[in-house]
Amino acid sequence: MKMLAGASARVLFTNLSQRSCASLRENLTSLSGPVASHGVYTQSILEMLKNQEISLSQVCLLDPKAQRKLEPEDGLEFEWFLFGARLS
C-alpha cells in the first residue's frame, strides 16, 4: 500500500491491536525507496478522523461494488480515500 500510494501520500492503518501495531511498525520502517509516510493506530477510523478534525465529507469510501470507477478527478473532491478490509 505504501508503495502504491506514492511518496507524497500518507497511509494510516487503524483499529489494530497493540501487538499488530508493533509488528506492522517494524515491517513498514524497513521499506526503502519512494514510499508513502505512514501511521499505525489502535483507534478506530471514526475516532481517528474526529481526533484529526477531518470531516466525513472529505473522505471517499472506496467500495469494490461501486457503480462507477474511481477517477483522477475524484482527487479534487476528496482529500482522503478510505480502503477497508474485514477479516472474519
- Cell 478522523 locates to 49
- Across 77-84, average pLDDT: 88
pLDDT band at 85 (very low <50, low <70, confident <90, very high): low
At residue 27, the pLDDT reads 87
Range of the domain at 15: 2-62+70-82
Residue 88 belongs to a domain? no
Residue 42 belongs to a domain? yes
- Is pLDDT at 88 greater than 70 in this prediction? no
Cα distance between residue 82 and residue 10, in whole Å: 12
Residue 10 belongs to a domain? yes
pLDDT digits (tens, 9 = 90+) for 9-66: 888 888 899 999 999 998 888 877 788 888 899 999 899 889 889 999 999 988 888 8
Total count of domains within the chain? 1
Please count the other Cβ atoms lying within 10 Å of the Cβ belonging to residue 81. 14
First to last CA, the chain: 21
